[in-house]
Structure 1
Amino acid sequence: MPTSSSALAAALLPLVGGPANVLSTAHCMTRLRLGLADRSLVDEAGLRAVPGVLGVVVDDDTYQIVLGPGVVTRVTARFDALLGSSSPLAARGVQLKEEQRQRNATPLKLALRRVANVFVPLIPALVGCGVLAGLNGLLVNLGWLPSLTPALAAVASAFMALIAVFVGHNTAKEFGGTPVLGGAVAAVVVYPGVAKVTAFGVTLAPGQGGVLGALAAAVLGTYVEKWCRTWVPATLDVLLTPTLTVLVSGLATLYGLMYAAGEISSAIGTAANWLLTTTGAAAGLVLGGLFLPLVMLGLHQALIPIHTTLVEQQGYTVLLPLLAMAGAGQVGAAAAVYVRLRHDTSLRTTIRSALPAGLLGVGEPLIYGVSLPLGRPFLTACAGGSAGGAFVGFFAMLGDRVGATAIGPSGWALFPLLAGNRALPVTAAIYGGGLVTAYVVGFLATYAFGLTGVASPESRTDANQPC
C-alpha cells in the first residue's frame, strides 16, 4: 500500500504501461496528466484500486489520474524522476502525442485547451496575491497596522499590474513562439508610456485591453515571428526576427488590438453586471447547475480569462461565487451517498478521503470517485449547485454583489478571497448561505432521487461486510 509520494508514483508507473508507454507528463491542481503511446496497456482497474487514486479520466489527448490537491504536485515530481531517460519524451513521443491529439480534438476543444494552458500556470500567483489583497483590505477597514498596509498592497498588486507580461510569455510558449518575445510584445499593454499614444481618436490608457489584449498581442507576435523565420537569412535571423516581431506586433497592438480588446473587456464587465442585476436568480440557477459538467470535461479552465478580466476591471469576479456552488452541491450529494449506502465500505472510504477536498472546492475526486460512476448523484449534485447559485444570484438582484478577488479556490477556501459592494460580513453571509443551500438541496435530492436504481445495501455484494 503506497504510503508516500514516491511509493504512489512507483505503484502507478507499471499500471500505465511502464516508462516506455509514457510520452509526456503534466499536472493541474488535482490530476496527473499523462500522454500515452498505447492506452490498451493501461490497467485501469488496477489504477482505481491503488490507495490514493481518487479517479481516472480518459481525455482526448491525455490520460488523467485524479490524486487531489497538493498530492498531485509531489507525485508528479516523483513520477518524472522514475521516468528518467527511459521514457521517449522527445521526438517520437511528442510526434505520437500530437498525432493523437489532432485525430481526437475538435477545433473548439483544442482552442479552449490552449487558452487554459496559458492561464492555468498563473493560478498560484493569482491565489496568493488575492489572499494578500483580501487581508490588506481587512486591515485597512479595521484600521490596523497602517504602517504595513501600503507595503502589503504593493506585494499583493504587483503581479496583477504586470500580469499581461506573464500572459504574453505563456501564450507565445503555447503557440510555438519565443516566450520572451511574447512577453515583450504584451508588455506594451501595461507600459505607462502608451498614455501618449492616440488610436481611433482616443488616447490609450496603460492596461487598456488587459489580459485579452496581451493574449491577442502575443498570438500575433508568434505568427509574425514564424513568418519572419521563413524568409530572413540565417545570418541575420538573430537580429531581424526579434526586431520585426516586436515592431510589427507592438504597433499593431497600439493601433488596433488594445482598443479592440478594451472594448471587449468593457463589454464583459457590463454583461456580467447586467446578467446578475436583472436575471441574477435565473443566471445563478443555470451557472451553478452547468459548472460540474464543465469541470468533468476540463473546460472550466477556459473561463479563467473572463474571471481575470473582471478582477482587473472591478477588483473581483462576480461569476466565481456562483460557479463555486456546484462544488457545494457535489458535497451534499456525496454526503447523501455516504448515509444511504452505509454498507459499501469501499465507496464510503473514497468519500471520506475526498470530502475534505470537496469542502475546499476541489470537486474532481468526488465527481470521478463517487457521483459520476453512480450516475444519478451527478445530476442531483448539479441540482444542488443550481439552488446555491440561485440563492447568491437572488441577492445580486437586490444589489448585493458577491465576488472573489482571485480565482482557483472555491468552497470554504473562497472565504478569504471574498469581496463585494457590501461590508465583508454581509458578503460572507450571502456566500455562506449559498453554500448551505447547495449542501442541503444536493443532499436531499440525492437522498430522495439520486440513488433510485442503485442496489439496496442488503442486495449488494458487499452487504455482508461489517459497517
Structure 2
Amino acid sequence: MKYDKDAAAIIAAVGGESNIDSLYHCVTRLRFGLKDNALADQSALTAITPVMGVNDAGSQYQVIIGNDVPDVYRAIVADVPRLSTEDAIDGAATTTGAKQKLHTRFLDFISGTFAPILPAIAGAGLLKGILALSNSFGWVDPSSQTFLIFSAIADAVFFFLPIIVAVSAARKLGANPYVAASLGGLLVYPALTALLGTGEAVSLLGIPVTAATYSYSVIPVLLGVYLLSWVERGLTRIIPSFLKLTFVPMFSLVIVAPVMLTLLGPLGTFVGSGIAGGINWALDNGGVPAGFVIGALLPLIIMTGMHYTLVPFILQNLATLGYDKFLPLTYVQTFATAGAVFGVFLRAKNKQIKALSLSTTFTSLMGVTEPALYGLALPLRRPLIATMAGAAVGGAISLGFGVKAYVLAGNGGLPGLPGLVGETFVWAIVGIVIAFIVSAVVSTILGIDESILAGTAEKTPATAPIAKKADASAPVVAPLAAGASEIVSAPLNGTLVSLDDVPDTTFSKRLVGDGTAIRPTSGWVTSPVNGVVATLFPTKHAVAVRSDSGVEVLIHVGLDTVNLKGAGFTAHVAVGDKVAVGDLLLDVDLAAVGATHDTLSVVVITNSAKYTVEPGTTGPVRAGDALIRVTPVVAATRGAHV
C-alpha cells in the first residue's frame, strides 16, 4: 500500500495505537479521538510527507492530509483494524478524548440525537396541528374512519418515540442501532405496558419494577442507550470474534434491559418530570419579565444550538400536559428575525443588500431564520439587536398571557401556525405580529452600515469580488496557456468572508489551498467551473470539481458538517459527471444544518500551488458571479494580467 510507512509514522506520532480511541475522516483530514492529546507530537506529524498540518480541536485531534486522506485512512486501518467502523467514513464514530468538556459532550449528544429525527417529529406535529384546526372549524367528523386513520399517522411517531430516539442515540454513540431499537421497543411493548398498568406490584428477579408509561418519553431510553454503548464496547473486547455476532447483542439486552426497567427508566422519568416541572414553573410564574429576558436571549440560544436541550422536556410537556409554553417563544423569535431583516430592506440603498434582505424576510416568515441571522443580522450587528428587541417584547406578551403550543410543528413560521391553534391562539398571533413590527421599527431606526457587506467593492478591486459574470457559455477545453486566466464562479448565494476569518485553521491557514468563504443564504450549490466532478464525499457535505483546464475546486459546505452523516444534504451529481457553470451539485437544508453547525462554506483551489489565486473576500455574492481569478504560475511570473 502506498502510504504504509506514512500510516505507521502517523500512528506513532499521535501517541501510538494505545492512545487512539477512534478515527474517521472527512474530505481533507483524519479526525482522531485520542485518550490524551498531549501525547501527540505535532512536529513529528508535520514532518510526515502527506501531512499538511495539525489542528488540536480538543475533542478531536485533526491531521490534515488533503485529497489523499481516504488512502491514508485505509493504510492506518490496515495497521489498526479495530479503528474501522461501518460509519467511519461518514462521521458516525464518536470521540472520547479526555479534553472534551462535559457540557460540550452533552450538547453534542443531545443535538446529534434529535437533529436527525426532527423532520419526522415536525411533520407529524404539523399534521396534528392541521387535524386540530380542521376539527376546531368543523371541517371534519372526528369520529370518522378517515380522521382516525390520519390521527394514527400523526400520533405514531410520538407513541413509538422511544424506538426512534433509541436508533438516533445509538448512531450518535456508536452503539448497534437495532439492539437499541429493541430496548426502545421494550418500553412500549403492549404486554409489558398492560402488566405495569394493572396497579399490582411487578418485580424482575426480585427487584421492583416501577409502573410508568414510556410512550412519548425520551429520557429513559437515552439513559438506556448510553449504558448500552458502554456494555457493547466491554463485551466486544472480551467475547471471541466468532461468537460476537450473537452473544454481544444477547448479553447486551440481558444486562441493559433489566437495569433500564428497574433503575434508569424510573430515574429518567423522575428527572425529566423534575426538570420539566422547574422549567414550567418558571414559564408559568415568570410572566412578563421572564418572557422579556428569554425572548431577548433566544436568537443567541438558537444560533448556538442550545435550544435542542429543551426538546425532551417540550415533548414531555406535550405528552403529559397537552401543551408547552416555550414553543410559542420560538415563533416570536422567528417573526422578530423576519421583522429585523425587513427593516434592513427598508433602509438599504445597495440593490444587492436590498434583494438579499427581502428574500431572507420571506424565508424567515416560512420558518427558516438561519439565512437572515447568519447572512445579515450577525454580520451587520444592528439587525441582531433589533431581533433581540422584537423577540423580547413578543416574549413578554407570550408569557404574560400564557400562550401555549399544542404540537411540536417543527416550524416557527407561517406553516407552523396550526401548532398554536387553541384557547390562546389570538394572543399568540398578537405576540408574533408585535415582535415583527418592533423588530422592523428598531432595525429601521438603527439603520445599517452597508460598507460591512458592500462598501469595499469599488475601493479594493484587487481583492474584492470580481464584478463581471463568469461566462458559462465558453467552456475551456484545453490547459490554460501562458498569460491566460480562468474564472471560478461562486457556487452559492451569500456574503463573502475572507478565508482568514474562517474559524478552522485547516482553511484559514490555507493548508488545503487558497480561496475564500461564503456565508450562504440559500442551499443551492452549483458548479463553479466547466469540468468534471472529481470527488463527492459520502456525506455529501463536500464536493470537488476539476475544470477542463485542470483547476481543482473544493466546495466544503459548513464547518465540521461531516458529523451530520449526510443529514440535510442531497447530491444531484456523481463522481465522473460532466458539469457546466451553474449546474446544480448539491441541495442543502440550511435550516437543519444551521441548527447544529456553522454553515459558513469554503471554496478553495486545492492545487493552488500551481496558480496565482486572486479570491473575492468582501461583499454579497450570487451563484454564478465571478469569484476567484486563477492564473498559472508561469503566466504570473511573466507579469501577465487580466
**TM-score when normalising by structure 2:** 0.54
Higher relative contact order (CA 8 A, sep 6+): 1
Cα distance in 2 for residues equivalent to 1:205 and 1:408: 27
Flag the structure with larger Rg.
2
SS in 2 for 1:210: coil
1:416 corresponds, among 378, 402, 418, to 418
Give the aligned partner of residue 117 of structure 2.
Answer: 122
Instruction: Determine whether 1:370 maps to 2:376.
Output: yes
Give the aligned partner of residue 324 of structure 2.
Answer: 317
1:445 corresponds, among 438, 442, 449, to 442
Higher strand share: 2
SS in 2 for 1:315: coil
Cα distance in 1 for residues equivalent to 2:457 and 2:434: 33
Identify which range, 235-244 or 173-182, moves more after superposition: 235-244
Q: Post-superposition shift, 1:186? A: 2.1
Q: Post-superposition shift, 1:335? A: 1.4
Q: 1:242-267: per-residue Cα shift (whole Å, max 9, x none)?
A: 11111111001110111111112222
Structural mapping, 1:98-109, within 5 Å: 106-109=101-104
Cα distance in 2 for residues equivalent to 1:372 and 1:281: 27
1:386 corresponds, among 381, 392, 410, to 392
1:137 corresponds, among 127, 132, 150, to 132
SS in 1 for 2:213: coil
Q: Post-superposition shift, 1:191? A: 2.1
Q: Which runs of 5+ in 2 are unaligned?
A: 1-25, 32-50, 61-66, 78-87, 197-201, 459-642
Q: 1:367-402: per-residue Cα shift (whole Å, max 9, x none)?
A: 111111111221221111111111111101xxxx41
Give the aligned partner of residue 42 of structure 2.
Answer: none
Give the aligned partner of residue 429 of structure 2.
Answer: 432
Q: Post-superposition shift, 1:314? A: 2.6
Q: Post-superposition shift, 1:160? A: 0.8
The percent of aligned pairs where both chains have the same amino acid is 25
Q: State whether residues 209 and 263 of structure 1, in contact with CA within 8 Å, keep that contact through their aligned partners in structure 2.
A: no
Structural mapping, 1:67-466, within 5 Å: 106-141=101-136, 142=138, 144-145=140-141, 146-147=143-144, 148-192=146-190, 193-197=192-196, 198=202, 203-207=210-214, 210-341=217-348, 343-396=349-402, 401-420=403-422, 422=423, 427-449=424-446, 451=448, 454=449
SS in 1 for 2:214: coil
Q: Post-superposition shift, 1:428? A: 2.5
Q: Describe the shift of the 1:395–1:38 C-alpha distance in structure 2 as closer, same or farther (beyond 3 A).
A: farther
Q: State whether residues 295 and 364 of structure 1, in contact with CA within 8 Å, keep that contact through their aligned partners in structure 2.
A: no
For 1:204, give the aligned amino acid: A
Q: Post-superposition shift, 1:203? A: 4.4
Cα distance in 1 for residues equivalent to 2:372 and 2:219: 33
For 2:418, give the aligned amino acid: P
Cα distance in 1 for residues equivalent to 2:172 and 2:404: 33
Give the aligned partner of residue 16 of structure 1.
Answer: none
RMSD: 3.7
Q: State whether residues 359 and 411 of structure 1, in contact with CA within 8 Å, keep that contact through their aligned partners in structure 2.
A: yes
For 1:119, give the aligned amino acid: F
Q: 1:331-362: per-residue Cα shift (whole Å, max 9, x none)?
A: 11111111112x21121121122221101221
Identify which range, 173-182 or 329-338, moves more after superposition: 329-338
Q: Describe the shift of the 1:20–1:262 C-alpha distance in structure 2 as closer, same or farther (beyond 3 A).
A: closer
Q: State whether residues 404 and 419 of structure 1, in contact with CA within 8 Å, keep that contact through their aligned partners in structure 2.
A: yes
Q: State whether residues 173 and 179 of structure 1, in contact with CA within 8 Å, keep that contact through their aligned partners in structure 2.
A: yes
Q: State whether residues 398 and 428 of structure 2, in contact with CA within 8 Å, keep that contact through their aligned partners in structure 1.
A: yes
For 1:177, give the aligned amino acid: A
Cα distance in 2 for residues equivalent to 1:408 and 1:274: 24
For 2:231, give the aligned amino acid: V
Q: Describe the shift of the 1:89–1:419 C-alpha distance in structure 2 as closer, same or farther (beyond 3 A).
A: farther
Cα distance in 2 for residues equivalent to 1:374 and 1:101: 38
Q: Post-superposition shift, 1:188? A: 2.2
Q: Post-superposition shift, 1:268? A: 3.6
For 1:129, give the aligned amino acid: A
Number of paired residues? 384
Q: Describe the shift of the 1:90–1:441 C-alpha distance in structure 2 as closer, same or farther (beyond 3 A).
A: farther
Cα distance in 2 for residues equivalent to 1:306 and 1:121: 18
Identify which range, 204-213 or 275-284, moves more after superposition: 204-213
Q: State whether residues 330 and 366 of structure 1, in contact with CA within 8 Å, keep that contact through their aligned partners in structure 2.
A: yes
Q: 1:176-195: per-residue Cα shift (whole Å, max 9, x none)?
A: 11110111112222223145
Cα distance in 2 for residues equivalent to 1:186 and 1:106: 28
Q: State whether residues 182 and 222 of structure 1, in contact with CA within 8 Å, keep that contact through their aligned partners in structure 2.
A: no
Give the aligned partner of residue 549 of structure 2.
Answer: none
Q: Post-superposition shift, 1:326? A: 1.5
Q: Describe the shift of the 1:160–1:95 C-alpha distance in structure 2 as closer, same or farther (beyond 3 A).
A: closer
Q: Post-superposition shift, 1:196? A: 2.8
Q: Post-superposition shift, 1:406? A: 1.4
Q: State whether residues 272 and 318 of structure 1, in contact with CA within 8 Å, keep that contact through their aligned partners in structure 2.
A: no
For 2:219, give the aligned amino acid: L
